[in-house]
């Protein structure tokens, strides 16, 4: 018998067995459930439950189900119960009244493989370990003071990006370079984080500009690993819900994740070992890196600040800081290419406020109101984590008048909430002007989450996004490749919201900025 046929027969046998067990479980618990008002639910099929309804991208599939079943509905995903929230009122309820109840995380097998067994800040369970990790992250890296200290580093990396793009354009035929923006943007974010987290820089050689070397080896290494993780960590990944798929690993999910994990961990170990050697050699600095601070804490509390904990915290900072910032900036540029009038308006604002005799700086961004409106509208339309990282209830509670049992996974469809036609006029349209003059005050947005598990890097992300996007607008004229029509806005799949196809655009230095760019 062929191996594929054998695997199919074995898979169907397991499905039949789980169907019988699931029927017995539902029969035993059915009477109790009928006594409670549970959220509405679509018809389910044996074993799979509602997994067959989770099309990709998952936020779009969940939004379609919400149109039929309401702002709170339940799903059975294999052996796991889930509730989906798609309204601002119910999301507020989850993260205010029931914030502690929903502060935990489900232990997905794929996330455990990626997160050092659930040790990273976004994925760890709620409790003392999370509180300590959160405190270290917010105090040592993401406090207002530390973000302000990082701004010169970020500004330097943005200047280096502008310099490389200028040189690429000058060397290209016709004075315009074709650039894949996600790679450039990822490099900027990663380089700034490396200097802050590990007191080191990427090993890029100045002058590298062609398509194969537009990223440093470190950025390519980490981005390659994240490109494996992100599609496999979606809440729609059947591998997490059906044990038989994990036992057989028919699709090679475990093999792919572990290979990417090894590459990422090798990158992190090199940074930690280099910083440990510097400290052992007596190299001191007025401003310790985050790794340096953690290694100092390790000496006094080795059982708390283990190497795994340090790697987990660094991994959270790199993946959350570099990937999400680059993704948001890529969506912003995609929208501006499709709406040149908004790009022109933003450029006029920058020219009026900053001028063309110097490069835009971090201190200029707070004065650029329309630029901030563009960022707000981008995060409304394309929240970086469209269903948030899943939460899990630790006790029974009620959401939207419906009973939610303890141990239920919570998915909050931020994408649908941000496009609710009852709250937003013409919700699918890109209109930065809706945020001008406080026009959107009181309207609900949560691109960075809400409650105690909210992303602690919001301030850093917004400051970096403003500086990067403002510099791209100030320094370069932008166009589509080959003068094509509108940029395709198709969405990719994964725990974050990548573009289906990376954005490529034509970049030409603005004539009035050539003198500034030449001196960078």
Binding annotation for heme:
455
Residue 507's SS3 state is strand
CA distance 13 to 10: 5
Q: Is the peptide bond before 57 cis (omega within 30 degrees of 0)?
A: yes
> Between the CA atoms of 335, 341, 347 and 349, what dihedral angle is there, to the nearest 10 degrees?
-110
Do the bridges between strand 80-85 and strand 409-412 make them parallel or antiparallel, or are there none, so unpaired? Answer: parallel
Q: How many helices (H) and strands (E) does the chain have?
A: 18, 9
- Structure tokens, 495: 């725990």
Q: Which residues belong to the annotated binding site?
A: 455
CA distance 101 to 99: 5
Do residues 368 and 467 touch, judged by C-beta distance below 8 A? no
CA distance 186 to 274: 23
> Between the CA atoms of 216, 190, 268 and 449, what dihedral angle is there, to the nearest 10 degrees?
-150
Query: Which residues, in sequence order, are bridge partners of residue 124?
Result: none
CA distance 289 to 294: 9
CA distance 257 to 187: 23
Do residues 263 and 225 touch, judged by C-beta distance below 8 A? yes
Do residues 334 and 489 touch, judged by C-beta distance below 8 A? yes
Do residues 22 and 16 touch, judged by C-beta distance below 8 A? no
């Amino acid at each position: 018998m062929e191996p594929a046929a054998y695997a199919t027969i074995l898979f169907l046998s397991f499905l039949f067995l789980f169907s019988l067990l699931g029927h017995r479980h539902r029969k035993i618990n059915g009477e109790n459930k009928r006594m409670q008002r549970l959220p509405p639910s679509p018809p389910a099929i044996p074993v799979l439950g509602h997994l067959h309804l989770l099309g990709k991208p998952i936020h779009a599939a969940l939004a379609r189900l919400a149109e039929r079943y309401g702002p709170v509905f339940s799903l059975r995903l294999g052996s796991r119960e889930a509730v989906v929230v798609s309204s601002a009122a119910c999301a507020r309820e989850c993260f205010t009244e029931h914030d502690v109840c929903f502060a935990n995380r489900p232990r997905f097998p794929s996330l455990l493989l990626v997160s050092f067994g659930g040790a990273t800040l976004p994925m760890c369970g709620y409790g003392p370990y999370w509180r300590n990790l959160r405190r270290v992250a917010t105090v040592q890296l993401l406090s207002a003071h530390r973000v302000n200290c990082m701004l010169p580093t970020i500004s330097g990396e943005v200047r280096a990006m502008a310099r490389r793009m200028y040189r690429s354009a000058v060397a290209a035929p016709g004075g315009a370079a074709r650039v894949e923006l996600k790679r450039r943007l990822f490099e900027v974010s990663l380089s700034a984080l490396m200097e802050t987290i590990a007191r080191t820089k990427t090993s890029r050689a100045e002058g590298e500009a062609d398509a194969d070397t537009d990223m440093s080896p470190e950025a390519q290494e980490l981005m390659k690993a994240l490109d494996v993780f992100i599609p496999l960590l979606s809440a729609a990944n059947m591998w997490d819900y059906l044990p038989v798929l994990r036992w057989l690993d028919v699709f090679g999910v475990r093999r792919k994740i572990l290979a990417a994990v090894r590459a990422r961990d090798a990158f992190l170990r090199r940074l930690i070992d280099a910083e440990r050697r510097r400290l052992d050699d007596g190299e001191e600095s007025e401003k310790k890196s985050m790794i340096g601070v953690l290694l100092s804490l390790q000496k006094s509390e080795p059982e708390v600040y283990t190497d795994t904990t340090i790697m987990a915290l660094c991994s959270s900072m790199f993946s959350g800081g570099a990937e999400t910032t680059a993704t948001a900036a890529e969506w912003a540029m995609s929208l501006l290419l499709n709406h040149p009038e908004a790009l022109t308006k933003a450029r006029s604002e920058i020219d009026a406020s900053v001028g063309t005799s110097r490069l835009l700086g971090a201190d200029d961004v707070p004065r650029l109101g329309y630029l901030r409106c563009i960022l707000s509208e981008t995060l409304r339309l394309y929240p970086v984590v469209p269903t948030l990282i899943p939460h899990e209830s630790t006790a029974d509670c009620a959401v939207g008048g419906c009973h939610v049992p303890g141990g239920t996974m919570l998915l909050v469809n931020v994408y649908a909430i941000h496009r609710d036609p009852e709250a937003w006029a013409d919700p699918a349209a890109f209109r930065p002007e809706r945020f001008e003059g406080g026009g959107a005050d009181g309207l609900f947005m949560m691109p960075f989450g809400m409650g105690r598990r909210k992303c602690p890097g919001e301030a850093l992300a917004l400051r970096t996004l403003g500086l990067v996007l403002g510099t791209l607008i100030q320094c370069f004229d932008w166009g589509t490749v080959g003068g094509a029509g509108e940029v395709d806005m198709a969405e990719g799949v994964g725990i974050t919201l990548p573009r289906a196809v990376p954005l490529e655009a034509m970049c030409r230095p603005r004539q009035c900025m050539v003198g500034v760019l030449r001196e960078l």
